[in-house]
Amino acid sequence: MHNIVILTGAGISAESGLRTFRADDGLWEEHRVEDVATPEAFARDPALVQRFYDARREQIRAARPNPAHEALARLDREWDGELLIVTQNIDDLHERAGAVRMLHMHGEALSAWCTACDARHGWTGTLGDAPACPSCAAEGDLRPDIVWFGEMPYRMEEIFAALGRADLFVSIGTSGAVYPAAGFVQEAAAHGSRTLELNLERSQGSHLFEETRLGSASELVPRWVDEVLSAQP
């Protein structure tokens, strides 16, 4: 085994205090996802959407990586083969734990995208007060650099290339409800990869994996990383 591709979702950050999307009430922080996470919602009520993501940004800055993020960062450091962590999460907890070989397919809360000049800027403050773009000085054209429903996820070519070479595909803390990420397991398996799911409960995609281990990410992930590293040739 040489190439590992890991997909992470909201479940890996749950123990850092960040809420998952599809909790029991079906709401994300008291909002229906379609009221805050679609281009139509932003066109209809930009102030509401900006306020919502301003609050998410503040929460993320206050959160800390948990043992699951730390274990993946250790795997990234110590695994001699190829490795790619693809996260659906908009938080920066993988990076803060020290992971490097990773990408954000659904964008980043801590990045602002100027729709006037197309520049992207690391952003820790608010956007609801219509700040000027540091590149073109346009005011009110910065939006959260996040892939909303109906928009194209980032870096898909790179992701599919990695899935095509994967020997092991591991999905962590994701409900398997949102495509294209939910289809990665089939893509990897079609190329002969082994497939493993680590999740709190059975997900919509569990039947697609060779093996599913149930439990919290902070327990399952460090144990799995130990296993992989101790078998490293």
How many residues belong to the site for ligand APR (CB under 6 A)? 22
Q: Provide, rounded to whole angstroms, the least separation between the CB of residue 132 and ligand APR.
A: 28
36 binds ligand APR (CB under 6 A): no
**Is 106 among the catalytic positions?**
yes
Closer residue to ligand APR, CB minimum distance, 88 or 212: 88
Residue among 106, 121, 191, 207 flagged as catalytic: 106
Among 7, 216, 222, 225, contact with ligand APR (rule: CB under 6 A):
216
Kindly report the three-state secondary structure assignment for every residue of the chain. CCCEEEEECHHHCHHHCCCCCCCCCCCECCECHHHHCCHHHHHHCHHHHHHHHHHHHHHHHHCCCCHHHHHHHHHHHHCCCCEEEEECCCCCHHHHHCCCCEEECCEEEEEEEECCCCCEEECCCCCCCCCECCCCCCECCEEEEECCCCCCCCCHHHHHHHHHHCCEEEEECCCCCCCCHHHHHHHHHHCCCEEEEEECCCCCCHHHCCEEEECCHHHHHHHHHHHHHHCCC
Among 3, 5, 16, 21, contact with ligand APR (rule: CB under 6 A):
21
213 binds ligand APR (CB under 6 A): no
14 binds ligand APR (CB under 6 A): yes
Closer residue to ligand APR, CB minimum distance, 50 or 175: 175
Interface characters, 149-188, with ligand APR (x: CB under 6 A): ------------------------xxx-xx----------
Among 199, 205, 212, 225, contact with ligand APR (rule: CB under 6 A):
199
**Active site (catalytic) residues:** 106
